[in-house]
Amino acid sequence: MITYIILDASELGNVDFNRVCQTSADTLRYSLDGSKFLLKFEGDTPSFLIGEPQYDHSEILNILSGSEWTSPDLLS
Amino acid sequence: MSTFSTCTSSTRPGSPTDGDVLFETDTKNVIIWDGTNWRGYTNDGISFGANAYSLDFDGTDDNITLGSNISISGAFSISMWVRPDSLLGKYLGDTATDSTFVYVNGSGNITFRGGSGFTTSVGGGSTSWTNTAANLITGSWQHIVITRDTGLGYTLWRNNTSFTTTGASLTDSDISFNQIGEILSYPYGVYNGKFDDLAFYNKELSSSEVSSIYNNNLHTSGLVALYKFDEGSGSTLVDSVGSNDGTLNNFPASPWSSTDKPY
C-alpha cells in the first residue's frame, strides 16, 4: 500500500529521502507554480510526515490531474 | 553438418517437445522450445526469451532517466509495449530540451515531436495520428512502433497495423530521447500504466520486421538500444545492446510485475 502526501515547498529541508519512494530532491514533482511537491511512502508513516493529510492512489491521481499540477491537454 | 526442420512463424508445432529446434523460413530465425516458451535467436545475435517482467508506472512521478541521450538523425524506429491505465501523458521524452517526446492525449491520439524545428500546435502542424483505430486504449497491452523513413515520412504501427500521419509537416531530422515515463519540467501528464520492451533502431523497420517483433518479440539489426524491462528488482534498467542503462526514479520497492505482461 502506497500513501501519497503533498507538502509545501518550504518543507523540503525536513524530508528524509531514505523513508520515501522519491529518489532525491532532484526528482521531485512540483505543482506548476512550484509551491508544493509530492511524496509517497510504503508502510508506516515516517515521523516527519505524521499529521500531514494522506491520499491513496486514486485520490492523488485526481488531485494531480487538476490545473494546479497538470497543464491543459496539448491535443484535446 | 546437421539440418534443422523448418516451419514459419505461423506454423510452429502445436505440441513441441523440450529442446525442439527449428528454422523459421519467413523470419530466418532459429527457435528452441524450452518446455514453456519458444526462445529465438537472430542472425545478429540479439536473442529473445521468455518475458520475465513488465514495469508499472503509477502515473504520479515514476520515471526512468537514461544515462545519455539517444540521438538519431535520419531514419529511425521506436518499438514499445504499453498497457495504459489512463491515456494522457508523455510516454517518452527529453529532459534536456523537451523538444522530443511521444505524447498521448486524453482521447488516445499519439503525437510524436522531435527536434527544435517541430511544432505541436493544437489541431495541426504536429506529427500525430488521429485515426480512431490508431488510438491507444486503457487496460490492454498494445504494441506501438513509430518509424521514420529517410524522407522524414512517419508511420505508426499499433498492434501490427500501420497508420500514416495526419497533419505532419516536419523538417527537423534530429531526435533525442533520455527519459521514459515523464518529463518533470514539462508537466502535460505523466505516464500511468505498465511498460515493456522498448527498442530504438537507426533505420525504418519494414512491415515484416514490425510483424516479427509483434508476433515473436524478435529484434532485428539496427538496434541502438534495447530495454527488456526484465530486471525484476533494483533501480537500473539495462540496455541489452549498448551501455546506455537507465535509472528508475521515484518508484516504490516492487514496481515489477511477473504476471501482467504482453506475452
pLDDT digits (tens, 9 = 90+) for B92-123: 887 766 567 788 888 888 887 765 444 333 23
Say yes or no: B122 contacts chain A, CB-CB below 8 A: yes
Q: What share of chain B is helix, strand, coil (3-state, %, to 5)?
A: 5, 40, 55
Q: Is A30 helix (H, G, I), strand (E, B) or coil?
A: strand
**What pLDDT sits at residue B7?**
86
- ipTM field: 0.94
Average confidence score pLDDT of chain B: 83
Task: Using CB atoms within 10 Å of the CB of residue B247, give its burial: 0 to 12 exposed, 13 to 18 middle, 19+ buried.
Answer: middle
**What pLDDT sits at residue B14?**
87
Q: Average pLDDT per run of 10 along chain A, which is 76 residues long? A: 97 97 94 95 97 98 91 63
Rounded to a whole number of angstroms, the distance from the CA of A13 to the nearest CA of chain B is: 18
Say yes or no: B106 contacts chain A, CB-CB below 8 A: yes
pLDDT digits (tens, 9 = 90+) for B35-94: 888 787 665 545 556 789 999 999 999 999 999 988 887 888 999 999 999 998 888 887
Q: Measure Cα distances from B211 to A53, B48, B145 in Å.
A: 49, 15, 10
Q: Is B217 helix (H, G, I), strand (E, B) or coil?
A: coil
Spatial contact of B199 and B226, defined as CB atoms under 8 Å apart: yes
In this prediction, residues B213-240 reach a mean pLDDT of: 90
Q: Give start and end residues of each alpha helix (H) in chain B.
A: 207-216
Instruction: Measure the CA–CA gap between B77 and A44, rounded to whole angstroms.
Output: 44
**What pLDDT sits at residue B24?**
81
Helices and strands (H and E) in chain B: how many? 1, 21
Using CB atoms, which residue from A21, A22, A70 is nearest to B187?
Answer: A70
Instruction: Measure the CA–CA gap between B3 and B7, rounded to whole angstroms.
Output: 13
Asked whether residue B124 carries a pLDDT value surpassing 50, the answer given is no
Spatial contact of B19 and B32, defined as CB atoms under 8 Å apart: yes
**What pLDDT sits at residue B172?**
57
Q: Measure Cα distances from B199 to B19, B39, B238, B242 in Å.
A: 28, 18, 12, 11
**B-chain residues within 8 Å CB-CB of A65?**
88
Q: Which one of A1, A44, A75 would you mutate to disrupt binding with B, by most B Cβ within 10 Å of its Cβ? A: A75
Q: Is B215 helix (H, G, I), strand (E, B) or coil?
A: helix
| Confidence class for position B210, pLDDT limits 50, 70, 90 | very high
Q: Give the pTM.
A: 0.82
Say yes or no: B60 contacts chain A, CB-CB below 8 A: yes
**A-chain residues within 8 Å CB-CB of B86?**
61
In this prediction, residues B217-244 reach a mean pLDDT of: 91
List the one residue out of B75, B69, B88, B93 whose CA is nearest residue B155. Answer: B75
Spatial contact of B100 and B216, defined as CB atoms under 8 Å apart: no
| Confidence class for position B170, pLDDT limits 50, 70, 90 | low
Please give the share of chain B, as a percent, with pLDDT higher than 90. 42
Chains A & B: contacts with CB separation below 8 Å: 79
Q: Cα(first)–Cα(last) distance of chain B, in Å?
A: 34
Residue of B nearest to A60 (CA): B60
In the chain, the amino acid numbered B120 is T
Q: Which of residues 228-247 of B touch A (CB under 8 A)?
A: 235, 247
Using CB atoms, which residue from A64, A73, A75 is nearest to B60?
Answer: A64
